[in-house]
Chains A and B, each alone.
Chain A
C-alpha cells in the first residue's frame, strides 16, 4: 500500500482517514506491505493514528506487516524520532534522540482509566522545555477527560472495552509540545443514543456533521446519562482552548472535523473510526540569566 504523500491527519484528514480505512479492508484478506518511500510530509498525529490502526485486535493478531522508510531524510527523521519503532519489531536502529513518545499501554490498562499515563506524558513534556504550570495542568485535565470519555462511550460492547492511544511530540523548531489522544471506537456520533439526544435538543438528528460536533464541544448536546451535572468534559477541554491555554485544538470524529481555535467546523468525506484530539502548548521563554 502506497502511503499518501502528505501523511498528516490534522492537515489532510480525508486522505489519512481513507488510507487507514483501506488498511482495515486489506488486512481482512491480505498481509500488508507499506511503501513510504515517496512520503513528503509526515506528522506525529499521522504516525499516532497509523500505529493505533496497526495495533487494532483484528489486524495485529492476523496480519504480517512490512514496510520501507521515507526516502526524504527529514521525513524519515520524523518517523525515527516519533517513538514508532519502539512499538513495532524492526531492523531499523533506534535513534537516541527521540523527541516523541507514543504511549503503548498494556492491553488491559490501555482500555481503562489510567492517570499515571497522563502524568508520565506531562513529565515527558516538562523534560523538553519550560511550560507554565497551568498549561501542564490543563493538558493533564484534557488527557483525563478523554480517557474517561473513551472508557465510558467508545465501545459498543460496554465500558472499558476500547483501547486508547496518546502521544507527545516536541517540535523543537517552534518550541511547541504537540499532544494527541485517540481511540478507534464508535466515535461521538455513533455512541449509544446520540441521535435520540440530538433530537431532544435540536428537534432533528439530521444536521451538518461539523455543526453537530460544534454543538457537542459547546455543551449544547449533553451527556447520555441524563444527569444534568454530567457531560462537562469535552466542553471543558474546548474552554481551555478558548482561554488560550491549549492552542490549535483539533477534533475529528466520524465524519466531522473541528479546528476549535479558528472556529472551522466541517463535514469530512471520509469516516474516521473513533475519536481523535490534537492540541499544542507553547513553551515559555527561558528566564534571562542574572548577572
Chain B
C-alpha cells in the first residue's frame, strides 16, 4: 500500500498537536490517517510506503507526533517492519524519520 502525504493529506503539514492546528497537525494525521492505515496494513499482512515528496516540508514535531507517536502506540519493531519511507526531494528525510522512531526503542530499553 502507498500513501502520499502531499496529495492525500496536505502540502503544508503543521505542528504537533490538534490544539494548534485541528486539521493538519501530526496528531490529526496519526489519529485520522496513519493508525487506521497501519492497522489495515497489519491485518492484510502488507507493507505501507509513505511517500514524503510533493509538499512544502515537515516540522520535526509533526513527524515525531505522527510516526514516533505511532511507534509509541503500536511498538517500534512492528512499525519499522511495516513502514517504509520514500523521499527523493529531501534525501535526509527518510533516515531522520527512522531515527525518530528508533529513539522510542532506546527510551523503552
Assembly CA distance A119 to B107 (angstroms): 34
Query: Given A112-B20, A113-B15, A116-B12, A148–B92 Cβ distance below 8 Å?
Result: no
The answer to whether B107 touches A122 (Cβ under 8 A) is: no
Q: For B92, what are the chain A residues with a Cβ–Cβ distance below 8 Å?
A: 134, 243
Assembly CA distance A230 to B16 (angstroms): 10
Residue of A nearest to B59 (CB): A144
The answer to whether A137 touches B57 (Cβ under 8 A) is: yes
Residue of B nearest to A146 (CB): B59
Interface size class of B (residues with CB under 8 A): 20 to 34
Q: For A119, what are the chain B residues with a Cβ–Cβ distance below 8 Å?
A: 11-12, 56
Query: Given A112-B20, A138-B57, A144–B68 Cβ distance below 8 Å?
Result: no
The answer to whether B20 touches A151 (Cβ under 8 A) is: yes
Q: Mask for A208-252, Cβ within 8 A of B = 1, else 0?
A: 000000000000000000001110110010000001000000000
Answer yes or no: B47 CB below 8 A from chain A CBs: no
Assembly CA distance A109 to B15 (angstroms): 14
Please tell me the number of chain A residues within 8 Å of chain B, measured between CB atoms.
Answer: 28
Answer yes or no: B27 CB below 8 A from chain A CBs: no
Shortest C-beta distance, B36 to chain A (Å), equals 22
Select one of B20, B58, B64, B72 contacting A232, CB under 8 A.
Answer: B64
Q: From residue 131 to 154 of chain A, which have CB atoms closer than 8 A to chain B?
A: 133-134, 136-141, 144-145, 147-148, 151
